[in-house]
Structure 1
Amino acid sequence: MNWLLVVAGAAVGAPLRYLLDRAVQARLDGPDAVFPWGTFVVNATACLVLGTLAGAALAGAASSRLQLLLGAGLCGALSTYSTFSYETLRLAERGRGFLAAANVVMSVLVGLGAVHLGSRVARQLLG
């Protein structure tokens, strides 16, 4: 029955991803946005949640079921590597190589930083 936990988390994560992406994109740049801020924020948020969950697990405060629900389910559906890749390729194809490279570098650095921050905060609070 573990798969039901993943499904339940994904059922929240997928629409949350869509709604957060659209809200961020509309707020920052509107429909003619050049930089994919929505995807960037969604992925950074998923990294922060997953890092926090990992820190909680290391502190013994997150059960395996919670890890399935939030980690595999919610974060799996919330984050999107395929959209990140597609949007980066579109930037490059449209002659915006600098923005494409910035998207890659910023996404990796912010994602790693968010995972690290979430993990440290959870371990400090729970450990």
Structure 2
Amino acid sequence: MTALWVGAASVLGALARFALDAWFTRRRRPTGVSFPVATLVVNVAGSLLIGWCYGLLDGGALGARAYPVAAAGLAGGLTTFSSFSVASLTLFLDGRRWAAAVNVTANLALGVAAAALGRLLAA
């Protein structure tokens, strides 16, 4: 039964990611900015959510069955390692090596910081 809840939460996370990406894409066209901001935002938000859930689990406020639904399901569906990887590679191959390095560094540093903040907020 947990697997079904994880799957349902994954659908919600993926739909939220799609909506955010579409929103950022509409906002980006007039400016011509082609940095993968939406991917960075969903990855940081998902890291914050997972960190918060981990803190709640560790403190006993979130059950062992609810954790995978929220973390692997909702946050896992929201975040996207594959889009991050392709965006970074595309920036690099387009000769935008500085932007590729910023994208990799920002996703890693902000993701870890967001997870730590989420855990701290749950305490």
TM range (shorter): over 0.9
Does the aligned pair in 2 maintain the 1:25–1:36 contact within 8 Å? no
1:47 partner letter: S
Gaps of 5+ in 2: none
Task: State the distance in 1 between where 2:114 and 2:103 align.
Answer: 16
1:46 partner letter: G
**TM-score, length basis structure 2:** 0.93
Aligned to 2:16: 16
Does the aligned pair in 2 maintain the 1:35–1:99 contact within 8 Å? yes
Q: Which runs of 4+ in 1 moved over 4 A?
A: none
Aligned to 2:49: 49
Aligned to 1:30: 29
Task: State the distance in 2 between where 1:4 and 1:108 align.
Answer: 30
| Equivalent position SS for 2:65 | helix
Report the count of equivalent residues: 122
Structure 2 matches for 1:84-95, cutoff 5 A?
Answer: 84-95=84-95
Identity %: 37
RMSD: 1.2
How far has the Cα of 1:35 moved from its partner? 0.5
Does the aligned pair in 2 maintain the 1:51–1:116 contact within 8 Å? yes
Does the aligned pair in 2 maintain the 1:25–1:33 contact within 8 Å? no
How far has the Cα of 1:65 moved from its partner? 2.0
**TM-score, length basis structure 1:** 0.91
| Equivalent position SS for 1:64 | coil
| Equivalent position SS for 2:61 | coil
Aligned to 1:69: 69
